Structure 1
């Protein structure tokens, strides 16, 4: 080998970006709030709960959700220093303490998350058809935990054993809320309506902008529509589950409203017609006709007579995309906006793949919920750092107008940036190589008054 290897006592770190995470976590209100819900007998040498929480968040920001991973940093001074830890917990202590946290700690994580998002609320809104909205997207994304005997793991609709958590995102990919559920739980699991109302209240605690709530057909129910109708300053798009309704009737209605010749070419073998209708909410059979509650429904009826490759079908296929909505947008605008929510699948991927959180670390469901809540904080901190780096205008190959960086990009280039820790005159300085592509934006971010 041409390069000679030697050991050195000079503190060198490969995780210089943790300094930015520690800066966000030094909030005293977080520490006080956590102490108030985790009462304990004071013992000398006992590691503080806030140190346990920061340690786990640090690991999650590095894509290491396993408790045992904390052992890798036992002899590395920078991990402890960057996160502001008094002491670094052992893997056993990390696991046991998180398992012992009461359910009330979920309020601690959510309150902190709200405060962090509120400080960066300028990133959460966008102008859509002439009005500025904070878009809130809700979706279920199963997590594969096959070949385990963890509590709550069961058969999911994705045809594997795992969990079926529900997530809410606000703006371009910031996580607003989550709930870990058994794999067999339906999207519209008991309590979903209350969870949606709680999520929208959390969003209103962050920003005064109008909300635009979007969810797929798994959450289609009269109760949810009524909850959304009652929400102040909130519009919604909720995809309908047409169940046993005849698609041909919807297609005929669309052609009648727009004219058979006024269609949209979807591809070489399909055409689409748009329509709208005020529909009576289900479950009002005993209500007088003139008192029944109606809600606007917009829809796209697609008639396919050939496959995209040009091969003709024996019989035409009809597909209906229908949405409950409170908006006055055209059906085309509603359809286009709903299709954009496919981006949420990328958010799930970043959580499960980039942060390696597909398989949760504990066998107990309550502990895994705590880890998922801490992961929400880590996820948003990484997302914010990515957005703030873009704001510097110095990120190689990126422009400030880009709305987000993938978490993997932030982790590889910022979290795992190498540095040398120098102590001199009671001060600590982190030296990073000026030739690193992200060195200048990192320095600009470190010197930012925010």
Structure 2
């Protein structure tokens, strides 16, 4: 094997050339206008510089406060993110502990501004722009962080709630919650903050479909989203919902008899039959009574897929609350795509390295998670605009690139940093296939016409 000789030169190199594109995303948001006006400082590092520094670290997969130390004297890091001074790890941690509560709303606004001002594509799925809502578990076992408690997956941690929109999976809501909280607890307040954001981002001509799993099956939430449908209709806009039914203590045998009496069973194969039914069910909340459509699917198996006879029939019972007026098969098909959002959860936890949050304070971790939402949307934007078209490096065709792919293809790109004649250059190398991607993204990641600079 050849042994290469080592050489040190005076050239300034970086292995994170993609940070220049993150800086453009933050410039389009105008972070200073959103943050510094609400959280001013009389001296020292500006709040916007703190935010840019942490988001920049998250965009290269570094979530610990100590990861900032190698970048304190990095000229490219400062120039790319437009940061006057990079804070040290101790200062970064202490400042975030003090101001994290005030940063939550500005951080949410930054994420929405990014999608709105760049006019990121929000594509529908079979005619509807889907809004997927769910909770997920962040394992914090072996720690004594605030509000860490037993989750529904049997581990100690947090159960944040997240909302994603469009086929691209833009994150439009992400909030940290104690691990012991049920999925539906105080979720109505989250929805109050979420719906105006969706209203801003989705074109008025496109219908929106809210999809939630059975953890959100409650009369209170059904009434809330039914009221939202009425509010959108008053604006001449279309809003529908699709919520998985929680059968709780339902008698499956009784449902088989009910489907049999209705003549709804259809034989799918020998030993398996399926029934689809639509019911209008009465629900009550605070002395109000409303009627909701419930789509039911009952599957009875007397043999398994190999033809083996079962001692007792296996009965599978599922249902969906919906405002859709489509056939039962289409309602079920629309909900099936809801499972895609599980990949987005994993990208937060693995690709951004946010599985175990770095602070011991709950509010600071909530702030860091929302910074993660901004970093997620920045990377998703780069992936959608630069890695799905004809300019992208050769990969299998896809409608969406995973964040890990964006990190590997763009963010971890090595380049020579050149500062000459008061201009900054990035030398990406001879005949670099990604140079065209960088050039295209630099032209695309600017505020689109119709938005003020503030």
TM-score under structure 1 length normalisation: 0.91
**What is residue 424 of structure 2 aligned with on the other side?**
428
| Cα gap change, 1:30 to 1:122, in 2 (>3 Å) | closer
Higher RCO (Cα < 8 Å, 6 or more apart): 2
Q: Give runs of aligned pairs for residues 227-376 of structure 1, distance below 5 A.
A: 227-231=224-228, 232=232, 233-257=238-262, 259-260=264-265, 262-264=266-268, 270-283=272-285, 292-376=289-373
- Within the alignment, does 1:20 sit opposite 2:15 as a pair? no
How far residue 437 of structure 1 moved from its aligned partner, in angstroms, is 4.1
CA distance in 2, matches of 1:167, 1:448: 27
Q: Give runs of aligned pairs for residues 111-150 of structure 1, distance below 5 A.
A: 111-121=109-119, 123-128=121-126, 131=127, 133-150=128-145
How far residue 365 of structure 1 moved from its aligned partner, in angstroms, is 0.2
How far residue 98 of structure 1 moved from its aligned partner, in angstroms, is 1.2
Q: Give runs of aligned pairs for residues 433-448 of structure 1, distance below 5 A.
A: 433-448=429-444
CA distance in 2, matches of 1:101, 1:199: 23
CA distance in 2, matches of 1:215, 1:417: 38
Q: Deviations over 1:87-107 (max 9, x none)?
A: 111111111111111523212
CA distance in 2, matches of 1:68, 1:309: 56
RMSD over aligned Cα atoms: 2.1
CA distance in 2, matches of 1:249, 1:33: 57
| Cα gap change, 1:434 to 1:277, in 2 (>3 Å) | farther
CA distance in 2, matches of 1:28, 1:344: 26
CA distance in 2, matches of 1:273, 1:319: 11
1:269, 1:306 within 8 Å by CA — same for their partners in 2? Answer: yes
**What is residue 184 of structure 1 aligned with on the other side?**
180
Q: Give runs of aligned pairs for residues 160-199 of structure 1, distance below 5 A.
A: 160-171=155-166, 172-189=168-185, 191-199=186-194
How far residue 122 of structure 1 moved from its aligned partner, in angstroms, is 5.4
1:17, 1:415 within 8 Å by CA — same for their partners in 2? Answer: yes
How far residue 325 of structure 1 moved from its aligned partner, in angstroms, is 0.2
CA distance in 2, matches of 1:32, 1:299: 50
Q: Deviations over 1:237-275 (max 9, x none)?
A: 011111112123333344444543x3445xx86442211
Aligned residues: 434
How far residue 439 of structure 1 moved from its aligned partner, in angstroms, is 3.1
Shifted more, 358-367 versus 388-397: the winner is 388-397
Shifted more, 405-414 versus 274-283: the winner is 274-283
- Within the alignment, does 1:203 sit opposite 2:204 as a pair? no
1:140, 1:164 within 8 Å by CA — same for their partners in 2? Answer: yes
CA distance in 2, matches of 1:350, 1:28: 23
SS of the aligned residue for 1:101 comes to: helix
Q: Deviations over 1:297-328 (max 9, x none)?
A: 11211212334454432211111110110001
CA distance in 2, matches of 1:79, 1:20: 12
Shifted more, 386-395 versus 14-23: the winner is 386-395
2:34, 2:110 within 8 Å by CA — same for their partners in 1? Answer: no
Q: Deviations over 1:188-223 (max 9, x none)?
A: 11x211212321221112223322100001011001
**What is residue 452 of structure 2 aligned with on the other side?**
none
| Cα gap change, 1:439 to 1:193, in 2 (>3 Å) | same
| Cα gap change, 1:345 to 1:104, in 2 (>3 Å) | same
| Cα gap change, 1:317 to 1:440, in 2 (>3 Å) | same
How far residue 282 of structure 1 moved from its aligned partner, in angstroms, is 4.3
CA distance in 2, matches of 1:362, 1:396: 37
CA distance in 2, matches of 1:203, 1:387: 19
CA distance in 2, matches of 1:447, 1:367: 35
1:157, 1:184 within 8 Å by CA — same for their partners in 2? Answer: yes
Q: Deviations over 1:144-166 (max 9, x none)?
A: 01000000111111111110111
- Within the alignment, does 1:110 sit opposite 2:105 as a pair? no
Which runs of 5 or more structure 2 residues have no equivalent in the other structure?
Answer: 233-237, 447-454
| Cα gap change, 1:236 to 1:434, in 2 (>3 Å) | farther
